[in-house]
Amino acid sequence: MRELVGYLRVDLKRAFVSPIFLLAAIGMALLLYISVDPEIKLAHMRDYPQQVIYLYETSLSYGFGQIALILGALPFGASFCLDWNHQFLKLLVIRADMARYATSKVFVCFLSGFSAIVLGQILFILILSIGFPLADPHSGTFENLSFSTYGFLLQQGHYALYFLFPVVAFGLGAAFYALMALLISTRIQNVFVVLTSPIIVMTLLQMLIGILNRIVDLPFWANPMFLLHGRFDQMPTLWASIAYQVGGIGLLSAGSGVIIALQMKRKVIHG
């Protein structure tokens, strides 16, 4: 246990006390801002009433989500690759328990990817809130969103809590894809390929699900793309949405973590 804590301490410091983590978070905020910059300029030019909730929902609908996956992998997705390339693992083979080493890598990779994307979204929302209200109860957008699974939070005026759910959902999905980068790094030691691999994984998943849907009409809850992209407005209750997201991502991540640990051990033993 002490050895695991030691690995976690080193890896957490390496992931979070780093300009790369800040770059990922700021990059996420900048990415979202660029996606709605025309809307913001239009609102200022025509003195058009705008609201943060609309701008945030609009930013997520653009095709910049793929770049966000790279940002989620940036803090720690290539950590094993870097350890291997710098021959750090040769020292570990002599004195380390690879299970603890792998556990630390998986946990910190997931946590740092999640944190960078969530922090970036929060920063984006805070920047927008300087010039616009969080929500306008008299707008059509507000009315439409108030009928979503957790729209009752809007109706009750809990705007900050309403933002919490899509922010966390997007963060959890990005964290899973960061693990995919870590998994790829056990096979490929090119940092550029590793960091861009989440986009490839997402594309392959979309193709596979598309093929399966042509064969069998999958219910939405069995479609991992709904889970990974935080789209669960069809869930009957708020708690069902939370259980679906956290439970589903947890199971996928735990299974991926086991595979990553086995692949790391194989790589160290066989090279």
**What secondary structure, in 3-state letters, does the chain show?**
CHHHHHHHHHHHHHHHCCHHHHHHHHHHHHHHHHHHHHHHHHHHHCCCCCCHHHHHHHHHHCCCHHHHHHHHHCCCCCHHHHHHHCCCHHHHHHHCCHHHHHHHHHHHHHHHHHHHHHHHHHHHHHHHHHHCCCCCCCCHHHHHHCCCCCCHHHHCCCHHHHHHHHHHHHHHHHHHHHHHHHHHHCCCCCHHHHHHHHHHHHHHHHHHHHHHHHHCCCCHHHCHHHHHCCCCCCCCCHHHHHHHHHHHHHHHHHHHHHHHHHHHHHHHHHC
Q: Is the pTM of this model over 0.85?
A: yes
Instruction: State the pLDDT at residue 266.
Output: 87
Q: Kindly tell me if the per-residue pLDDT of 165 is higher than 80.
A: yes
Instruction: Kindly calculate the radius of gyration of the chain based on its CA atoms and give it in whole angstroms.
Output: 20
- Structure tokens given for 49: 């009433």
The Cα 124–Cα 20 span in angstroms is 18
**What pLDDT, in 10s, does the model give residues 73-100?**
999 999 998 888 877 776 665 556 788 8
Read off the pLDDT of each residue in 237-241 and give the average, rounded to a whole number: 74
Q: Which residues contact 4 (CB under 8 A, 6 or more apart)?
A: 100, 103, 104
- Reported as a pLDDT band with limits 50, 70 and 90, residue 216 is confident
Which of the given ranges, 13-27, 141-155, 165-179, has the highest pLDDT on average? 13-27
Instruction: State the pLDDT at residue 155.
Output: 83
**Taking the domains of the chain in order of start, what are their residue ranges?**
2-270
Read off the pLDDT of each residue in 107-117 and give the average, rounded to a whole number: 97
Instruction: State the pLDDT at residue 61.
Output: 75
Instruction: State the pLDDT at residue 146.
Output: 79
Pick the closest to residue 141 from 58, 41, 229 (CA basis).
58
Instruction: State the pLDDT at residue 63.
Output: 60
**What pLDDT, in 10s, does the model give residues 174-207?**
999 999 999 999 999 899 999 999 999 988 888 8
Instruction: State the pLDDT at residue 222.
Output: 67
